[in-house]
Amino acid sequence: MEAKIGDQGKIYHSKVDSSGRIVLPADVRLRQQIHTGDQVVLIEGRDGLQVKTLQQAIHDAQALFAQLAPLDVLLSEELIRERREEAESE
């Protein structure tokens, strides 16, 4: 069973079986490119539970860290520079 929620997508109803499994509807798997045997990531937050493919979760994490680090700076080189400065001051 599904219901549309405007531009945000659709709401699907599914049941959890005795082993804790949830069936993802075929059209969702197709649109999200989830295939048999693929790993998914469950993210629990204040707003509920999100299901993402492993690739989606990696992409989201990379995007988050890209916002935190300046594009023109290698953080590894910054760390090495700081460690050298600390060693010289000892």
Q: What would the pLDDT profile of 18-75 be if each residue is shown by its tens digit?
A: 999 999 999 999 999 999 999 999 999 999 999 999 999 999 998 998 888 777 778 8
- Give the count of domains, the chain: 1
> What's the CATH number where 44 sits?
2.10.260.10
Question: What Å distances lie between residue 81 and 7, 18, 77, CA to CA?
Answer: 48, 55, 6
pTM: 0.59
Q: What would the pLDDT profile of 24-39 be if each residue is shown by its tens digit?
A: 999 999 999 999 999 9
Residue 54's domain comprises 2-89
Provide the Cα torsion 38, 53, 49, 11; round to 10°.
Answer: -90
